[in-house]
Amino acid sequence: MNDTLRLGIAGFGRIVELVHLPLLKRLPEIEVAGICDVTPQRRALAAKRGFEVYDDPEALLAAPIDALLIATPPNSHAELAELALRGGKHVLIEKPVALNAEEAMRVRDIARQEKRVVTVFHNRRFDADYLLVKRLLDEGVLGSPLFVERRHHMFGTGASFGVKSFYPKWRDERRYGGGALLDWGVHLADQLLRLQLGTYGAVRATMGGIWPREDEVDDYVQANMVTDRNVILSMNINFGSALPSPMWVAGGDKATLQVVSPGEAYLCEPGKSPRALEMGKDERQGPERIYASFADAIWHGGPLAITLDEAIETMTMLDEIRASARQTKERADGNLICGTAG
């Protein structure tokens, strides 16, 4: 039956305040029935905005809610998802779904046992730049695909985005699931996988810290792989770059696409001047579809806009990037047997 979906929210940070709540206001079928946060200041703000507030996730899960949005730091995603699923709640998880694929697969196992619905908020799948790249590849404008490069450069980490009353620098600490790979790499990996350019093989990656800090996390990620269609995929994340870098460079045997920024893109064909392309707009209904499909899946068993299996595939790629980068570092340090002098 179609009824109001009562949604609880664990974590009242900026991402909820600036992204999720505006979306939910446009979805009358979903009602925010309670918010849990560990900080008194954020609970007070939520209460001021008219929400029921809780200081403990178990108290929120004991309230009359049907589903839980998990918007806490990544290190608690899997634990909270398990708690909610065991309590009979459906779950929507902010990206990344978990710290690694193993945790994500455990969430999937529990969801199947409890017969609950789980989806993940991979909202960048609906950005205009990604949609343009996918459309030109699908329509054959670039010809047979040869390579796709995806980049995200920024000067500084996302720590400034965090709320001051909690711990703004959690994105810079490994214990919380901080670092460039889990912050932005999850978006880039999801986009590259959804281009559906074939099954990728061995990953070659480098990761490292740029900014000095006690708990070193990755500020830089470079990963390359080749698919079984002989398409080279690469991602580059750099939290120490103040220079503009194209978001995308995608090439085929007929033309090359360069997406400079969210509002600027060019098609480059041999022997011709670069041609500016109309970028279009973000698919505004896209993130809303994540929520709407979540409700429909709960009520009618409909398809999800983002499946947990897709999120696990993304986390598997991130795990392989980590493993390759670790091996690269060990070779550089001379710790591998094949890299020692004996």
Distance from CA of residue 58 to its chain's centroid? 26
What is the chain's pLDDT, residue by residue, as a tens digit (342 residues)? 458 999 999 999 999 999 999 999 999 999 999 999 999 999 999 999 999 999 999 999 999 999 999 999 999 999 999 999 999 999 999 999 999 999 999 999 999 999 999 999 999 999 999 999 999 999 999 999 999 999 999 998 877 777 777 777 788 888 899 999 999 999 999 999 999 999 999 999 999 999 887 667 899 999 999 999 999 999 999 999 998 889 999 999 999 999 999 889 999 999 999 999 988 776 667 899 999 999 999 999 999 999 999 999 999 999 999 999 999 877 776 654 443 333
Residues 109 and 177 placed together within one structural domain of the fold: no
CATH label of the domain that carries residue 217: 3.30.360.10
Are the CB atoms for 91 and 111 separated by under 8 Å? Answer: yes
Asked if residue 46 is part of any domain, the answer here is yes
Residues 109 and 179 placed together within one structural domain of the fold: no
Planar angle of CA 48, 78, 114, nearest 5 degrees: 100
Q: Please give the pLDDT value at position 340.
A: 33
30/69 Cα distance (integer angstroms): 12
Structure tokens at 13: 């940070």
Domain that holds residue 84: 5-123+285-305
Residues 103 and 146 placed together within one structural domain of the fold: no
Q: Please give the pLDDT value at position 125.
A: 95
Q: Please give the pLDDT value at position 316.
A: 98
Residues 293 and 250 placed together within one structural domain of the fold: no
Asked if residue 152 is part of any domain, the answer here is yes
Those residues whose C-beta lies under 8 Å from the C-beta of residue 195, and which sit 6 or more positions away, are 133, 134, 137, 148
Asked if residue 137 is part of any domain, the answer here is yes
Residues 137 and 272 placed together within one structural domain of the fold: yes
Are the CB atoms for 124 and 187 separated by under 8 Å? Answer: yes
Q: Please give the pLDDT value at position 214.
A: 67
Instruction: Give backbone dihedrals phi and psi of 43, rounded to 5 degrees, phi first.
Output: -65, -40
Residue 335 to residues 32, 128, 181, 212, 332: CA-CA distances in angstroms? 52, 44, 24, 24, 8
According to DSSP, the residues that pair with 92 across neighbouring strands are 69, 119
10 Å CB burial of residue 338 (0-12, 13-18, 19+) is: exposed
pTM of the complete model beyond 0.85: yes
Number of domains into which the chain is organized: 2
Residues 271 and 137 placed together within one structural domain of the fold: yes
10 Å CB burial of residue 254 (0-12, 13-18, 19+) is: middle
Residues 14 and 78 placed together within one structural domain of the fold: yes
291: helix, strand or coil: helix
206/222 Cα distance (integer angstroms): 5
